[in-house]
Structure 1
Amino acid sequence: AAVVRQAVAEGLSYLELRGSPQKYGYGLAFLRSFHAALNEALIALPAGQRPRIRFILIADRRHPDRAREVIQLALQANAELPDFIAGLDLAGDETVTRPADIAGDFLPAFEACLPLTIHAGEGEEADAIWQAAYHLHADRIGHGLSLGDHPQLAARFRNRGICLELCPTSNREVVGFGDSAHPASEGLPVYPLRTLWDAGLPLTLCTDNPGISRTTLADEYLTAARMVDGLSLWDALAMMRQAFVHAFLPGAEREVLLKQADARVYRAVLEWLSPESRRSD
């Protein structure tokens, strides 16, 4: 219920949660229970106010011996709860297990065409992103901050529409970037969001671990605006739209959500531009 309340409070219409249910006993039982609890909370809301919530399972690089177990769990859960299970993620310390070393374990996920997002290029060079794209066939990349250092790979991402999931607060905390709200960060590198965005790369903003970073999605856009010069409202709206475009959803459902989001934005912009609104300012 708390997850649903938070999603509603933030005004989210679509939410992809991530977690490692294999760490909580019998993973499939956990997912069944969690799915039922979410549905119970959602049904209590008016029909037009129910966010769409899906779940991505995380395999941990620090435990490569359990990768096959997690992948099998993801496939089992996807077969049983196809409307709930969105895909699979590989996260954790990039220096521990390289995509090339674990690619064989992902073969069942490839065969099942399970959507994949891979954490890569947060604190490592662009080769880590190359491996995620070419060895693990990533549909999206978590972070990908060093992608701008590899122009050929960046062009490939742009042409294939592989989306980057940037997390400004977490990236500042983990990697270290300048943020005017944090004096201790003075002199640290400039956050590469503007470079990646100006290169025409699909990207959107995410919260990473909002419980640890104490952040919301709206906070991430405000943080990005502090960390990057010249980030406009239109840039932010375009990045939000990319989140819908690259959501791990069936195409027809994604299109419906995208059109609904577009309509909400158009109405808000028209209201803001209306003479009555301008006079009230």
Structure 2
Amino acid sequence: MKGNIFQLDSREKYAAAVSGGSDSLAMLYMLVDMGYKDNITVLHFDHNLRTESANEAKWLRKQCEMLGVQFVCEKWHKPNVEANIQQEARYARYTFFKHACETNNLNSVLVAHTQDDLIETMLMRLGRGSGLTGLSAMREETNVLGVSVYRPLLNETRETLQNYLKEKGVDYISDPSNDNEKFFRIRVRNLKPVLLNAGIAYEHIASSAKALRRADDALNFFADSLANHLIEEQGGKVNLSTDIFMYPEEIQLRLLATALFKVTSEGLAPRTSKRSQALLNMKDGIKGFTLGGAIFKQKSGFYQLEKEK
């Protein structure tokens, strides 16, 4: 790690999401080492899914007290359902982040995603048949569930961060779920030695993911410029011109996603296969159909979208 990788505004206040694991704890110590102690507040979300979590939160609080860093913690009272528990936990965690940022006047949340996380996510999505957007590298700055997120460690490896803590003589929390292969991410993570032995370097996969991100951004730029001419908002409804079929299919898919967002405000577009079927419906002149919470009605030269009741 060279130089100041954070580049934070010394006049601003930030949140640092810290679980106590190696990645986030290394981020915390690096922030302190680089002079940002007074600019950060540690946010810790106790998922309350393991009996050890309460003691781990207490341990982390002591770490922050020793470093002279503000600490805010919330304990999750999880719902009595096991289905989609990780998705529920993520939503609860970011809800806490949002509330804590608003309450403490914090600019954004620093999250310790590493190059390993970037690659694992790409490989998982590759296994699920994702398209260009899904395979693209995580963005350094983004918005998650209404929370401004900054990922300063995407160029750092997990091994580098663990070595950093080892050199400082700092212990970290080891979550046993990180060894549990019932989770897809852990099975993908354990492929790393196999890929390295096959001559597939992680840094090269990361470079490919970043190249895909640049291509994705370029297509979004082109699609956004066309949207000004092909999508019209009209009294709570959205008109999508059939002139979109003059352009490549990937652009059609993105314009359709933009039109859907304008009418439903849903941030996540329907799967590519469903949007492709909607485009076929439009080409075939189907008079009416639904997709992603919107009703499509055929008009002269365009389809009108309105939100489902």
TM-score, shorter chain, exceeding 0.5: no
Higher gyration radius (CA): 2
Normalized per residue, the structure richer in helix is: 1
TM-score, length-scaled by structure 1? 0.27
TM-score, length-scaled by structure 2? 0.25
